[in-house]
């Protein structure tokens, strides 16, 4: 018999007893024993109802707990399946990873090859350029340099009239060979510009930094692009030429003349200029020589600075003397080396511009003032 059937039977018995009690009340026949029995029956009914409610509540809680356990178990099973699946990647995923690794390896190898080829090409170009300019230098006749001794330059950079280099009679400080016939009142250029102009149309000067590979003709074209990739004879070459800005006067009479040359890691072209970032190099080499068909000059260095060519270029002219003075002050402030040399508003400047690799579009600009070397004093030395 189930709990429900038992409960219904008990209720039926209680109803029967209650009917009997009611009938007794109606007849007025109620004994103490009947009254006590009625109270006991009522209490029993109440206790049965409370027990039934408790049993139903416990059954409900048990069912809910069982359902929660089933849900938790199902979630655990799902998570376990996912972990197992993650630990065991599919063959398709492994193949994708392998392909990616092969691609990455291929890119790395290609980059190394490109760098190696680029370096090899640069070295080949440098050697070819060096050989070309060495042959050119050996083919030309030069007279001895006329210049001040850098060690006895005045504070303003003007050459000293004393302690000039002593040149023995009949000797040359540059290349062997017969010297031109020089007299006190005769101008003899450092090189034969007429002969060079026949071979290299567009030559305007010769530039030289003692003790380095910087020893080149200075060209000038109709733009600033041609000589970036062409030698003085017009043949195409990655090394290019040293050249004067096409907007400048070829006699260097402008307030600021801009001369360009490629930066080379092996020191050719303007590769030597990077050494000026070392103070000791500047101290040993404060002067660069510039020769034209009409004058010998010393470029007495004032400063060197880095510039972003996409934002700033050295000015060729200045609005007034105040602007020129501000430019000189800015050079000193930004200089990569310290120099005691100063310039005033009457001086002319030369900027030697080359590439740098400090940042995108970086350029190194070495600036000096143009000081004409006295020909009379030099001629006296040459005719001793």
- Give yes or no for residue 73 having a pLDDT over 90: no
Band of the pLDDT at 58, cuts 50, 70, 90?
Answer: low
The CA-atom distances, in angstroms, between 177 and each of 34, 59, 138, 144, 174 are 158, 123, 10, 11, 10
Which residues, including other chains, have CB under 8 Å from residue 34's CB and lie 6 or more apart? 21, 24
Residues with a catalytic annotation lie at 355
For residue 162, CA distances in Å to 150, 255, 261 come to 12, 29, 34
**Residue 108 pLDDT > 90, yes or no?**
no
Question: pLDDT for 170-218, tens place per residue?
Answer: 333 443 334 444 444 566 788 889 889 999 999 999 999 999 999 999 9
Report which secondary-structure segment, H or E, holds 5.
Answer: helix 3-27
The model's confidence at residue 243, banded by pLDDT at 50, 70 and 90, is very high
On the question of pLDDT at 21 being above 70, the answer is no
CATH of domain 140-382: 2.40.260.10
- DSSP letter at 299 equals E
Domain segments of the chain: what residues? 3-87, 140-382
Query: Residue written as tokens 């850098």?
Result: 150
Going by their DSSP bridges, the two strands 296-308 and 349-355 should be labelled as unpaired
- The pLDDT assigned to 88 comes to 57
pLDDT at 327 over 50: yes
> Which of 52-56, 93-97, 146-150, 304-308 has the lowest average pLDDT?
146-150
| Residue 355 confidence (pLDDT) above 60 | yes
């Amino acid at each position: 018999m189930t709990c429900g059937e038992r409960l219904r039977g008990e209720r039926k018995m209680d109803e029967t007893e209650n009917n009997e009690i009611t009938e007794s009340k109606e007849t007025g026949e109620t004994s103490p024993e009947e009254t006590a029995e009625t109270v006991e029956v009522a209490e029993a009914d109440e206790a049965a109802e409370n027990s039934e409610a408790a049993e139903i509540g416990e059954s409900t809680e048990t069912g809910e707990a069982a359902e929660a356990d089933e849900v938790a178990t199902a979630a655990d099973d799902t998570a376990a399946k996912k972990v197992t699946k993650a630990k065991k990647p599919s063959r398709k995923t492994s193949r994708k990873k392998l392909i990616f690794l092969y691609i990455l390896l291929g890119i790395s190898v290609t980059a190394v090859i490109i760098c190696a080829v680029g370096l090899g090409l640069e070295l080949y170009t440098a050697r070819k350029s060096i050989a070309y300019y060495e042959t050119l230098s050996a083919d030309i006749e030069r007279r001895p340099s006329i210049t001040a001794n850098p060690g006895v330059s005045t504070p303003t950079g003007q050459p000293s009239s004393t302690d000039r280099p002593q040149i023995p009679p009949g000797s040359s400080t540059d290349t062997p060979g017969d010297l031109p016939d020089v007299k006190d009142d005769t101008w003899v250029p450092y090189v034969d510009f007429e002969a060079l102009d026949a071979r290299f149309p567009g030559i305007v000067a010769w530039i030289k930094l003692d003790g380095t590979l910087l020893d080149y003709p200075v060209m000038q074209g109709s733009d600033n692009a041609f000589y970036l990739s062409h030698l003085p004879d017009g043949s195409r070459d990655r090394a290019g030429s040293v050249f004067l800005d096409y907007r400048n006067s070829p006699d260097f009479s402008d307030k600021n003349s801009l001369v360009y040359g490629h930066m080379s890691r092996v020191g050719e072209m303007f590769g030597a200029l990077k050494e000026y970032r070392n103070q000791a190099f500047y101290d040993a080499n404060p002067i660069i020589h510039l020769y034209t068909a009409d004058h010998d000059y010393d470029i007495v260095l004032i400063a060197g600075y880095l510039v972003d060519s996409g934002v700033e270029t050295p000015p060729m002219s200045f609005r007034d003397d105040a602007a020129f003075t501000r430019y000189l002050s800015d050079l000193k402030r930004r200089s990569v080396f310290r120099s005691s040399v100063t310039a005033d508003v009457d001086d002319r400047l030369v900027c030697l511009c080359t590439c740098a690799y400090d940042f995108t579009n970086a350029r190194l600009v070495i600036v000096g003032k143009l000081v004409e070397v006295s020909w009379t004093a030099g001629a006296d030395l040459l005719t001793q």
